[in-house]
Amino acid sequence: MSLSMHEASAATFKRMLTALAALLEKAEAHTTARKIEPEALLGARLFPDMFSFTRQVQLTCDFAKLCCARLSGVDAPKHEDKENSFPELKGRVAETLAFISGLKAKDIDGTENKEITLKIAGKDTQMKGRDYVLFFALPNFYFHATTAYDLLRHNGVEVGKRDFLGMT
Torsion of CA 38, 62, 145, 158, to 10 degrees: 30
Map out the domains of the chain with their CATH numbers.
5-159 (1.20.120.450)
pLDDT for 28-75, tens place per residue? 999 999 999 999 999 999 999 999 999 999 999 999 999 999 999 999
Query: pLDDT tens digits, residue range 20-29?
Result: 999 999 999 9
Residue type, 51: F
Measure the CA–CA gap between 47 and 38, rounded to whole angstroms: 19
> How does DSSP assign 52-105, residue by residue?
PHHHHHHHHHHHHHHHHHHHHT-PPPP--S---SHHHHHHHHHHHHHHHHTS-H
- Do residues 20 and 145 make contact, with C-beta atoms less than 8 angstroms apart? yes
Rounded-to-integer distance, Cα 99 and Cα 120, Å: 24
pLDDT at 1 over 70: no
pTM score over 0.85? yes
For residue 158, how far is the Cα from the chain centroid? 21
